[in-house]
């Protein structure tokens, strides 16, 4: 397993690459070109600049998170072919800089959703929280406005102003979108891009829907074992794979995350390890990696025992020790998470 850290790029981040390099047993970072809109080609010089910057700091860059999918592809509109062509060009350009995995999502309109970005816990740390009744009683537009206010001017990934500019119009386009149609649109995309991915040696790794249940009446694709099996069978290539996000899938108590890992391991190319703590009424908050409702030991063991050789990153952490930064993406708690995950892994290795 190769341990990585998500890094947002120069000008988008307060954490220097040199700090990431100081965390024991981190091989590299995963990043993106945040200024690119979904559907645009990532040009060769932009890709090279991104990679050179990271490699100069002594870190690998083998995973991109994310190359976003244009909404027209998800909606299955006639204009999708042009955006798919652009996606293929980007994949080819990413091959030139040695990328091995692309993490992406196929969530309609929105990326992940939380009610609070900086929810204060009794120990003074701050974390993200999901309040079920709050989400049921708000609208995506109101949520986007709340995030804008709460996150101090730093756009959250997946909630960029450009993406949300036409949110109400885009939501209307999803009216009447059935699950079957949505799976068919995903298949159209996969069948078009997977041959290029195979040729380029770049594995696609779809991120689960977060939360893994229906919100705002939008369809869900990757939210439980059966949907994962259905999605992977849309295109049987190993290049059509998964990002196994423990916190996304684990927010539904019916999902047995270690069992899902064991079943789909050959198709898992990247994992986000995150913990959460369930509260009453379907609410939860994101806890430290060690002290939550998910059994991280069992999760890491499932990866270890299955012989996982892909990439891992600690997912969201709390804000601790007075650190300020992007919600979920402070350095301190994620570094503690890495030390914990690496410790479990080393103990498992030494016992085999
Ligand atoms: C949240 C992230 C997601 C993820 C995308 C992948 O913190 O895990 O935003 O990057 O869904 O495309």
Name the average pLDDT for the chain.
Answer: 95
Q: State pLDDT tens for residues 211-259.
A: 999 888 899 999 999 999 999 999 999 999 999 999 999 999 999 999 9
Domains along the sequence of the chain with CATH: 2-350 (3.20.20.150)
* Per-residue pLDDT, 252: 97
Query: Ligand 1: distance of its center to the CA of 227 in Å?
Result: 19
Q: State pLDDT tens for residues 99-134.
A: 999 999 999 988 889 999 999 999 999 999 999 999
How confident is residue 98, by pLDDT bands cut at 50, 70 and 90? Answer: very high
pLDDT at residue 141 tops 90:
no
For residue 147, indicate whether it is catalytic. Answer: no
For residue 227, indicate whether it is catalytic. Answer: no
State the DSSP code for 237. -
Pair of tokens at residue 236: 């049987």
Q: State pLDDT tens for residues 312-351.
A: 999 999 999 999 989 999 999 999 999 999 999 999 999 9
> Which ligand 1 atom minimizes the distance to the CA of 6?
10
How confident is residue 166, by pLDDT bands cut at 50, 70 and 90? Answer: confident
> Which ligand 1 atom minimizes the distance to the CA of 316?
7
* Per-residue pLDDT, 156: 73
For residue 272, indicate whether it is catalytic. Answer: yes
How many Cα atoms occupy the beta-carbon half-sphere of 236 within 13 Å? Answer: 0
Q: How far apart are CA 104 and CA 63, in angstroms?
A: 11
Query: Ligand 1: distance of its center to the CA of 101 in Å?
Result: 14
CB burial of residue 246 (10 Å; 0-12, 13-18, 19+): buried
Query: Ligand 1: distance of its center to the CA of 39 in Å?
Result: 17
Mutate to test the pocket of ligand 1, among 158, 186, 222 (most ligand atoms within 8 A of CB): 158
For residue 132, indicate whether it is catalytic. Answer: no
Q: Determine which one of 70, 269, 289, 316 is catalytic.
A: 316
For residue 316, indicate whether it is catalytic. Answer: yes
Mutate to test the pocket of ligand 1, among 12, 111, 312 (most ligand atoms within 8 A of CB): 111
* Per-residue pLDDT, 110: 85
pLDDT at residue 152 tops 80:
no
Average confidence (pLDDT) over 22-32: 98
CA terminus-to-terminus distance, the chain: 16
Q: How far apart are CA 69 and CA 110, in angstroms?
A: 11
* Per-residue pLDDT, 151: 79
Q: Determine which one of 207, 209, 210, 289 is catalytic.
A: 207
Query: Ligand 1: distance of its center to the CA of 19 in Å?
Result: 22
* Per-residue pLDDT, 181: 96
Q: State pLDDT tens for residues 29-47.
A: 999 999 999 999 999 999 9
Phi-psi region of 235 (alpha: psi -120 to 50; beta: other; left: phi over 0): beta
Name every residue whose Cβ is closer than 8 Å to that of residue 55 and which is 6 or more positions away in sequence. 61
* Per-residue pLDDT, 244: 98
In SS3 terms, 104-156 reads as: ECCCCCCCCCCCEEEEECCCCCEEEEECHHHHHCCCHHHHHHHHHHHCCCCCC
What percent of the chain stands above pLDDT 70?
99
Protein residues whose CB sits closer than 6 Å to any atom of ligand 1: 65-66, 103-105, 111-112, 157-158, 207, 272, 316, 328
Q: How far apart are CA 69 and CA 237, in angstroms?
A: 20
Count the helices and strands in the chain (H runs, E runs): 14, 12
Q: State pLDDT tens for residues 195-224.
A: 999 999 999 999 999 999 988 889 999 999
Query: Ligand 1: distance of its center to the CA of 6 in Å?
Result: 10
Q: State pLDDT tens for residues 168-200.
A: 888 899 999 999 999 999 999 999 999 999 999
Average confidence (pLDDT) over 11-40: 95
* Per-residue pLDDT, 208: 98
How confident is residue 144, by pLDDT bands cut at 50, 70 and 90? Answer: confident
């Amino acid at each position: 397993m190769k341990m990585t850290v998500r890094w947002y790029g120069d000008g988008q981040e307060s954490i220097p690459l040199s700090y990431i390099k100081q965390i024991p047993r981190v091989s590299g970072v995963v990043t993106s070109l945040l200024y690119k809109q979904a559907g645009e080609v990532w040009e060769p010089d932009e890709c090279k600049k991104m990679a050179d910057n990271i490699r100069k700091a002594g870190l690998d860059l083998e995973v991109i998170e994310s190359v976003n999918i244009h909404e027209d592809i998800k909606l299955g509109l006639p204009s999708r072919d042009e955006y798919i062509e652009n996606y293929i060009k980007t994949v080819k350009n990413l091959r030139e800089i040695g990328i091995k995995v692309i993490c992406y999502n196929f969530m309609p309109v929105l990326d992940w959703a939380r009610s609070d970005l900086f929810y204060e816990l009794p120990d003074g740390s701050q974390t993200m929280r999901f309040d079920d009744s709050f989400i049921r009683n708000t609208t995506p537009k109101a949520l986007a406005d709340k995030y804008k206010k709460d996150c101090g001017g730093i756009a959250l990934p997946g909630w960029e102003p450009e993406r949300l500019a036409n949110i109400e119009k885009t939501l209307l386009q999803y009216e009447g979108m059935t699950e079957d149609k949505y799976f068919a649109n995903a298949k159209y995309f996969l069948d078009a891009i997977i041959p290029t991915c195979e040729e380029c040696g770049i594995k696609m790794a779809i991120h689960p829907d977060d939360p893994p249940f229906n919100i705002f009446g939008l369809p869900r694709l990757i939210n439980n074992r059966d949907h994962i099996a259905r999605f992977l069978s849309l295109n049987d290539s190993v290049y059509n794979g998964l990002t196994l996000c423990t916190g996304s899938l684990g927010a539904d108590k019916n999902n047995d995350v270690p069992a899902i890992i064991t079943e789909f391991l050959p198709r898992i190319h990247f994992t986000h390890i995150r913990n959460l703590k369930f509260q009453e009424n379907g609410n939860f908050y994101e806890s430290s990696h060690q002290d939550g409702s998910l059994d991280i030991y069992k999760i890491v063991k499932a990866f270890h025992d299955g012989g996982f050789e892909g990439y891992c990153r600690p997912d969201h952490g709390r804000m601790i020790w007075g650190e300020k930064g992007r919600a979920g993406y402070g350095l301190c708690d994620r570094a503690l998470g890495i030390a914990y995950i690496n410790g479990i892994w080393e103990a498992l290795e030494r016992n085999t």
